[in-house]
Amino acid sequence: MTKNRLKIGMIQTRVGLDKAENVEKTSLAIRDAAARGATLICLQELFATQYFCQTEDAAFFDLAEPVDGPTVQAIAKVAKECKASVVVPFFEKRAPGVYHNSVVVVGPQGNTLGLYRKMHIPDDPLFMEKYYFTPGDLGFQSFDTPDAKVGTLICWDQWYPEAARLTAMRGSEVLTYPTAIGWHPSEKAEYGAAQLSAWQTIQRSHAIANGVFVIAVNRVGHEGPKDGGIEFWGHSFVADPFGVVLAEAGEGEETLIVDCDLTRPEWVRRNWPFFRDRRIDAYGDLTQRFLDSNKR
């Protein structure tokens, strides 16, 4: 029988230069979240390392690990200890020269419930991910945890309504977005508020359009050169299936614990039946890159 309540833990941290220390710091935060009642705990994107994609440097490929590598194993051990499911982002080494930005969902027995590879890979100033990550090839997925059906997406995926829709169509009650997003310090004064608002708005819209909970977990702190780099803005949050923000972190380290009513998606979808009214017969053109105005 489906449970009616889900307590979510979201771990928002600063990330240092020592990978082992970062993993241990996060492990302690997982234990704290579980002690406070969380049974689904979500970590931030690439939580074990600083955000190395600010530059193109082949030496950073040495940070990657296989799916059963030490980082995932360490978190799986803590998940089993705490009897919690954990969304674990990591830098995956699939084969020599083939790397992914990935997530493993670990169950409360320390077992692997599923693997997702980031589908949308950005290439922007200080976000040079195309150099490091091969686009995902597992499609959009949803995984059964003991408490809820969880869809896993990663950061740049959060800007694409198609990704949210297809993941929700697989039955997800919760969409998780581990994230590493922040301001270029030189742009913050002019664009910062609008950028943060856009980031929150697009994810709240996924919650509304699909009648699901959305979890966005971001990191905090400045990484990179003092006269540049990225200032990660935090503001991790949970939105309910009508886009209501249930809880939001600030710009410092924080572990959010949020109680979610899993009967809420049913109520929202009955009253705002977007899935019922979709014109699936008319959406074929979505598989095109762009529609030229002179072609029909």
Known catalytic residue at 260: no
Tokens 């997982």 belong to which residue?
Answer: 30
Pairing of strands 230-233, 220-223: antiparallel
Pairing of strands 174-178, 5-12: unpaired
Q: Which residue in 42, 45, 231, 254 is the catalytic one?
A: 45
Per DSSP, the residues of 41-76 read: EEPPTTTTS--GGGS--GGGGGG-B-TTSHHHHHHH
Residue 147 DSSP SS3: coil
Let me know: does 236 contact 10? Beta carbons within 8 Å. yes
Known catalytic residue at 118: yes
Known catalytic residue at 155: yes
Q: Which residue in 25, 92, 118, 129 is the catalytic one?
A: 118
User: What letter represents residue 131's amino acid?
Assistant: Y
Mapped to the 3 state alphabet, what secondary structure does 187-250 carry?
CHHHHHHHHHHHHHHHHHHHHHHHCCEEEEECCEEEECCCCCCEEEECCCEEECCCCCEEEECC
Q: Which residue in 7, 155, 173, 254 is the catalytic one?
A: 155
Cα–Cα dist 295/112, whole Å:
47
Which residues are marked as active site?
45, 118, 155
